[in-house]
Chains A and B, each alone.
Chain A
Amino acid sequence: MLLRNKTVLWRELDGEAILLDPKQGCSYNLNQVGTLIWKMLDGKHTTADIVEAICEVYEVEPELALQDIELLLDDLRSNNLLSNGVSPAHPGE
């Protein structure tokens, strides 16, 4: 299961999320797809769940959705925006 870093402050405005990492003083802007993914990083959803949710909302192939999700997760991980100690989930978990 995937979980966002609980110390990160965030707010969704008109479907786009703004994230603030208080420790680094850095802010991030997520588009609507990124925001959908971010909101599902609640410790209750797998990557497969997120792929399914994106394919429901947007007309996109699962493979492409998965590719986008993994890119974003890598970004989030490298910026310490994902919670430590939670193993990255994979499709089929």
Chain B
Amino acid sequence: MLNETVFETAFYDLPGQLLSKVYFFHDVRVTCYTNHPWVLATLDEMLGLFPEPAQLQGEITYSIVCYERDSLFPLQLPRSRVRTDTMRLLTNTILIYYRDPNDTIEYQKYMALPPVNGTSLTVISRSQNILLTQLEMPEKYQASFLRRYVFLLALGQAMGRFGFEPCHAAAITTPWDSQQGALLIGVSGSGKTTLALGCVSMGWGLLGDDLVMLRQHAAGALISACTITHEVSVRPDSLELWHTLAFLRDYPADPRDKRYCSVEQVRPGAARMHTPIRLLLFPSLSTETTSRATRLSKAHTLQMLVDQCLSKLQARPQSQEKLFLMLSRLAEQAPGYQLAIARSAHDGPQIISSLLAGDTYG
């Protein structure tokens, strides 16, 4: 059984001095411990933007401990375990999800596939709000990888306890009302980031370009999109499309040729924390000269939400049922459209404006 005492073993003979800092992630207090100053600087960038909430809903303790090599990790994968999912992330990087047979602990293990990354193992207790990430020295990683795929995935998973559901989507708000939100849902390369960043260039707010959290704060309330990070990742073709991103040409690119910056660098004042979802968009890139929106039935909208959002990550039946119910409500709450994005994509923001204003298409 994993408990606080077991987690404390991670701190025995800890290399380096233990540092701590308190952050807020929406209405959850996150107390972080680490033995590496770089980790705190990174967490400042990730979580420093979130203000202290008026009302606190709960607490998480997140420890990120660095070791010279993974054989020194005090907590290792148990012999008896269930593999629940495998994801290929960056080039040569694989994330494998496990849980223990009692379904009380989750593990997120990154395979060490040099030269891209070292190894990490995140351990999440289901019964307590404790999580621990063990890393080989952070110098072995790309910073963007650690932020996006290690720290945020771990925190996002832990936030499930407070009603937040991670969702692979972009979310934007209109320039005229930050309570008018649209969710752009699609696989990598479908154009959601391109379109979201184009909207930001034209005065829209942004909650996330690739990953957000969904939450229904109270029974009967609208389902909202909540930001998980204000870092955006930009492909080379987006640099060509949107002149406000031109400054990124001088930034270093990762192995997938993506460049990273904060949404505030794209347009100061564009960052948003949460918004009710009024529109569901399923973008895809087309070769047409103009973009086109096609209305979906509620059932088709739900099916697309399920196909995109409900993966085997939610391997526990209770989690699947909870998320299915939330997606069903979302399909009833907001109309769904397939959006074929034209090559230039410049008419995308205008079409989204029209859809939010209630104009009919398709």
Contact = CB atoms under 8 A, between A and B. Distances in A.
Interface of A: 7, 9, 11-14, 16-18, 20, 22, 25, 27, 29
Contacts of B302: 11, 13, 18
8 contacts: A7-B317, A13-B299, A13-B302, A14-B297, A14-B298, A18-B299, A18-B328, A27-B310
Contacts of A13: 297-299, 301-302, 328, 331-332
Interface string B298-319: 1111110011001110000100
Contacts of B317: 7, 22
A88 B301 CA distance: 32
A27 B332 contact: no
Contact of B320 (A11, A12, A16, A20): A20
B320 A9 contact: yes
Interface of B: 297-303, 306-307, 310-312, 317, 320-321, 324, 328, 331-332
A12 B303 CA distance: 11
Nearest to A24: B312
Contacts of A7: 317
Given A7-B317, A11-B328, A13-B328, A20 B310 contact: yes
A22 B320 CA distance: 7
B312 A25 contact: yes
B300 A29 contact: yes
B154 to A, nearest CB: 23
A11 B300 CA distance: 12
B298 A20 contact: no
Nearest to A29: B303
A27 B320 contact: no
Contacts of B324: 9, 11, 20
